[in-house]
Amino acid sequence: MSKSEHSPPLIGVFDSGVGGLSVVRALQAKCPTAPLLYVADCGHAPYGERDVSHVVDRSLRITNYLLSQGAALIVVACNTATAAAIEAMRQQHPELPLVGVEPGVKPAAQRSLNKRVGVMATTSTLQSPRFRSLVQRFATDCFVLPVACAGLAAAIEQGEAKQAAVTDLLDQYCSVMKKAAVDTVVLGCTHYPFVADAIAERLGPSVTLLDTAEAVAQQAARLYDGLAQADQGLQHADAPQVRHITLVSTGETEVLERIARERLGWDLQAQRVGI
């Protein structure tokens, strides 16, 4: 899986589970000829309910794995891992281009008309210094309601088997935001875009949902262009747009394959790896 002399640079992407596929979808649209390797750390999920040291250790291990496979750029497609581990990743690999995912507090504060913003995320993300810094830097003129959506990411991953749980959790968390009269809601976990329609239905048409996948993909594409310009094997922009996506999981592969097929229309076989 490592990069050959004449192949374009590989982009590595990881998340604690399948949520990062929402970022891979946006990234593939921005870099259609780039080979993408996605790691779902399903064997050690969910990150949002684990301590920081666990998330840092897993993030560093997966980073080393992606580098061993030839990754020239890594996207941390997980809000919890970005908040807990991206600085440790930068310290260990100072020359490696890294792109993280953060709750879109800044655009939400700019877009909100009544200056009341809800942020749906994991407990770990909302308790992190990184999240507090986002609020302090970009939303001091807003009421920001953090909603820790315990159990939601895990339930989303289980699909139909946990649909009743997803429904109950969305009812609970959306009710909190409706009572607070927020007009803008940040989807602060990469799993949540997969149920964005259900969230929007509960909150109503006057509430705007913000997903940062597009912004993350744009930043990654900008860095990738810089890498690719130095790579003699880069495919030109007018080359055939062939999808090169490899999916691997540290746990069972069934959920990863199902979400890729049902949510993205990608009929791909995932590999199980030990990391």
Give catalytic residue positions: 78, 189
Residue numbers in the chain where pLDDT is lower than 70: 1-6, 160-161, 230-243
Full-model pTM: 0.87
Is 16 a known ligand-binding residue? yes
Q: What angle do CA 251, 44, 3 make, to 5 degrees?
A: 65
In angstroms, the CA 52 to CA 212 distance is 23
Instruction: Report the CATH number at residue 124.
Output: 3.40.50.1860
Is 211 a known ligand-binding residue? no
**Full residue range of the structural domain in which residue 189 is found:** 105-210
Q: Is residue 2 part of a domain?
A: no
Which of the 8 DSSP states describes residue 192? Answer: G
Domain stops at, among 191, 210, 229: 210
Intra-chain end-to-end CA distance of the chain, in Å = 15
- Note the pLDDT of residue 237: 43
- Note the pLDDT of residue 64: 98
Q: What is the pLDDT of residues 226-248, one digit of tens each?
A: 887 766 544 444 444 445 899 99
In angstroms, the CA 188 to CA 78 distance is 9
Q: Is residue 23 part of a domain?
A: yes
Is 250 a known ligand-binding residue? no
Domain stops at, among 210, 234, 253: 210
In angstroms, the CA 223 to CA 226 distance is 5
- Residue 73: both structure tokens together: 């750029």
- Note the pLDDT of residue 6: 55
162 and 177 in a single domain? The answer is yes
26 and 97 in a single domain? The answer is yes
- Note the pLDDT of residue 11: 96
Is 80 a known ligand-binding residue? yes
206 and 217 in a single domain? The answer is no
Domain stops at, among 181, 210, 239: 210
196 and 236 in a single domain? The answer is no
Q: What percent of the chain has pLDDT over 90?
A: 80
Q: Is residue 127 part of a domain?
A: yes
Is 4 a known ligand-binding residue? no
- Note the pLDDT of residue 238: 44
96 and 220 in a single domain? The answer is yes
38 and 66 in a single domain? The answer is yes
Structural domain total, the chain: 2
Q: Are 108 and 184 in contact (CB under 8 A)?
A: yes
Q: Is residue 4 part of a domain?
A: no
In angstroms, the CA 111 to CA 195 distance is 22
- Note the pLDDT of residue 211: 94
Q: What is the pLDDT of residues 19-67, one digit of tens each?
A: 999 999 999 999 988 999 999 999 998 887 788 999 999 999 999 999 9
- Note the pLDDT of residue 243: 56
86 and 135 in a single domain? The answer is no
84 and 217 in a single domain? The answer is yes
